Chains A and B, each alone.
Chain A
Amino acid sequence: MGEKMKHTLSCLVYNRPGVLAKIAESFAREGVNIYSLAAGEIEEEDKSRMTIVVDADRETVRGAEKRLNNLDDVIKLHDFKEGELIAMELLLIKIRIKAEEIPQVLQVAELFNAQVIAVSDTAMVLALHAEEKRVDGMVRMLKSHGIIEMSRSGKIAVTAP
């Protein structure tokens, strides 16, 4: 068994009921945990692109890919190598407002080019769209300031131009 690593798979599928379940099952049968999955329409209305990030060794991923390629709903599947894709994630994170920590929280936001998109007397919501590592970095830096709630979109990607 080879070394486990993150793989980013782009899966072009027909946009019809049950596709997501079949794809999830293909990974489950190979014992692969899906790290993140983001799906949405593309330029052709009847098709969707799923960007799936899995953490597994190459052989196991190959097994899952074989299963996916056998599905009628899957049009095209690609396992991206580093440098082949432009990928980003969206993060929404709600932080507790402590008056004395406001400057530091805003400095973190500025550092990562995140935006405050909502605020109340007790909390503020920051939004960041960035590469996964930058999203990880901002989450790490905000941890000590009191994260109330957080949601990550998972990676979405297109091939590099």
Chain B
Amino acid sequence: MKERAESVAVQDGDLYDMHAVLNRFTGMKPARLVIVRPYDTASLEAAAAAAQENVAQPILVGNRKKMNELIRKLGIKKDFVFVEASDDNILEQGASLLHDNEADFIMKGLVGTGDFIHVLLDPRWRVRTDRILSHVGMLEIPETKRVFLMSDAAINILPNFSRKIQIVRNAVDAARRIGIRRIRAAMLAAVEKVKLPAMPATLDAFLMKKYAETGLFGDCIVDGPFAFDNALDYRKAAEKGIGGSVAGRANVLIVPNIETGNVIWKTITCLQRGPAAGVVLGGSCPIVVPSRADDTKTKILSIKFARLLLDG
């Protein structure tokens, strides 16, 4: 991890204040970001903000006339690099920029996630690695502003144990790269004890804790199963008499399935209007795959998160 100019509150190995964490790249060279089919307001506004803040140099791939019209309509005063592409080969055009080393990372605009990932995983673009792709989200606890990562809310639907190993690996790796010094990963379920056969997530959580003892994930502690509150709130954990160094102090949450991750993500972004950033990891570069419903703020934060990981 390179030293950053900005100061970020660090306490007990944790990071505080998501905006401060994600703004640490100031003064660094902006990375080249391909945005495929940015035909929506949030993508273009995020591209403009990323350029304005020197986070990234956006390369917009799509119908130039269409993109210019929208840029004019939004009143964006920024010069972008454009790559003309029709819908027939727009995804391939974007991927080829990564392959030809003309871009450092990639984001989708108005494109279905499935199609986008499917094209990126074509071996000819060399985005695919020996790891699986998984989504890692960055969120913060409103009360304390303590930053935590969560995975996987977007790619792996109902991962089995083997896939969960990869998900933990990607998330722990991301935590390390953004500068969390004491990584405490909590395997989420609904309760703290193994309940079989009713709650298979509790079994995976228990076994992941044991598996982590092999040292596969490096310097980090993995524990579980935990209910959500007992993973993040040490008072709740203490009330229930749940011990260990992860209880109430987790900075990485591994959810058992996509529904759990999606609900946590939407509860924070939709109900609390809290900040959130999300990136897909496991490829040769961070991939920004925002939901089409994500607002401009979330898209900017996601670009910053990816930028940080690119350099971490």
Query: Does B214 lie within 8 Å of A106, measured CB to CB?
Result: no
Closest approach, in angstroms, between the C-beta of B161 and any C-beta of chain A? Answer: 4
Closest approach, in angstroms, between the C-beta of B164 and any C-beta of chain A? Answer: 9
Closest approach, in angstroms, between the C-beta of B268 and any C-beta of chain A? Answer: 31
Q: Judge if B141 is at the interface, Cβ distance under 8 Å.
A: no
Chain B residues with CB below 8 A from A84, complex form: none
Which residue of B is nearest A122, CB measured? B210
Which residue of B is nearest A127, CB measured? B197
Bound-complex Cα distance A117 to B203 (A): 9
Q: A103-B162, A106-B160, A110-B160 are in contact. Are A115 and B207 (CB under 8 A)?
A: no
Query: Does B213 lie within 8 Å of A106, measured CB to CB?
Result: no
Bound-complex Cα distance A99 to B161 (A): 13
Q: Which of A15-41 contact B (CB under 8 A)?
A: none
Query: Does A103 lie within 8 Å of B165, measured CB to CB?
Result: yes
Chain B residues with CB below 8 A from A119, complex form: 194, 196, 203, 206-207
Bound-complex Cα distance A118 to B206 (A): 12
Query: Does B203 lie within 8 Å of A99, measured CB to CB?
Result: no
Query: Does B162 lie within 8 Å of A106, measured CB to CB?
Result: yes
Q: Judge if A71 is at the interface, Cβ distance under 8 Å.
A: no
Instruction: Write out, one digit per residue, whether chain B residues 285-297 have a CB within 8 A of any chain A CB (1) or not (0).
Output: 0000000000000
Query: Does B210 lie within 8 Å of A97, measured CB to CB?
Result: yes
Residue count of chain A within 8 Å CB distance of chain B:
14
Closest approach, in angstroms, between the C-beta of A4 and any C-beta of chain B? Answer: 39
Bound-complex Cα distance A115 to B197 (A): 8
Query: Does B160 lie within 8 Å of A99, measured CB to CB?
Result: no
Chain B residues with CB below 8 A from A107, complex form: 161-162
Q: Which of B193-208 contact A (CB under 8 A)?
A: 194, 196-197, 200, 203, 206-207
Query: Does B161 lie within 8 Å of A106, measured CB to CB?
Result: yes
Chain A residues with CB below 8 A from B211, complex form: 99-100, 102-103
Q: Judge if A116 is at the interface, Cβ distance under 8 Å.
A: yes
Q: Which of B162-204 contact A (CB under 8 A)?
A: 162, 165, 194, 196-197, 200, 203
Chain A residues with CB below 8 A from B161, complex form: 102-103, 106-107
Closest approach, in angstroms, between the C-beta of B156 and any C-beta of chain A? Answer: 15
Bound-complex Cα distance A97 to B197 (A): 18
Query: Does B194 lie within 8 Å of A99, measured CB to CB?
Result: no
Closest approach, in angstroms, between the C-beta of A75 and any C-beta of chain B? Answer: 37
Which residue of B is nearest A116, CB measured? B203
Chain A residues with CB below 8 A from B165, complex form: 103
Partner of A117, one of B197, B207, B214: B197
Closest approach, in angstroms, between the C-beta of A151 and any C-beta of chain B? Answer: 18
Q: Which of B205-258 contact A (CB under 8 A)?
A: 206-207, 210-211, 213-214
Which residue of B is nearest A106, CB measured? B161
Query: Does B207 lie within 8 Å of A102, measured CB to CB?
Result: yes
Query: Does A117 lie within 8 Å of B196, measured CB to CB?
Result: yes
Query: Does A99 lie within 8 Å of B197, measured CB to CB?
Result: no
Q: Which of A66-118 contact B (CB under 8 A)?
A: 97, 99-100, 102-103, 106-107, 110, 115-118
Q: A107-B162, A119-B203 are in contact. Are A102 and B210 (CB under 8 A)?
A: yes
Chain A residues with CB below 8 A from B160, complex form: 106, 110
Closest approach, in angstroms, between the C-beta of B143 and any C-beta of chain A? Answer: 35
Bound-complex Cα distance A48 to B206 (A): 42
Closest approach, in angstroms, between the C-beta of B214 and any C-beta of chain A? Answer: 5
Max chain B CB contacts within 10 Å: which of A97, A102, A107?
A: A102
Bound-complex Cα distance A106 to B203 (A): 11
Chain B residues with CB below 8 A from A121, complex form: 210
Closest approach, in angstroms, between the C-beta of B210 and any C-beta of chain A? Answer: 5
Bound-complex Cα distance A99 to B206 (A): 11
Query: Does B197 lie within 8 Å of A106, measured CB to CB?
Result: no
Bound-complex Cα distance A99 to B207 (A): 8
Query: Does B207 lie within 8 Å of A106, measured CB to CB?
Result: yes
Q: Which 8 A-B pairs have the closest CB atoms?
A: A106-B161, A100-B214, A102-B211, A99-B214, A99-B210, A99-B213, A102-B207, A103-B162
Taking Cβ atoms with an 8 Å cutoff, the residues of A that contact B are: 97, 99-100, 102-103, 106-107, 110, 115-119, 121
Given A102-B207, A118-B196, 17 other A-B contacts at CB below 8 A? Answer: A97-B207, A99-B210, A99-B213, A99-B214, A100-B214, A102-B161, A102-B210, A103-B161, A103-B165, A106-B162, A107-B161, A107-B162, A110-B160, A116-B200, A119-B194, A119-B196, A119-B203
A-B contact pairs, 6 of them (CB 8 A): A102-B210, A103-B162, A103-B165, A116-B196, A119-B194, A119-B207
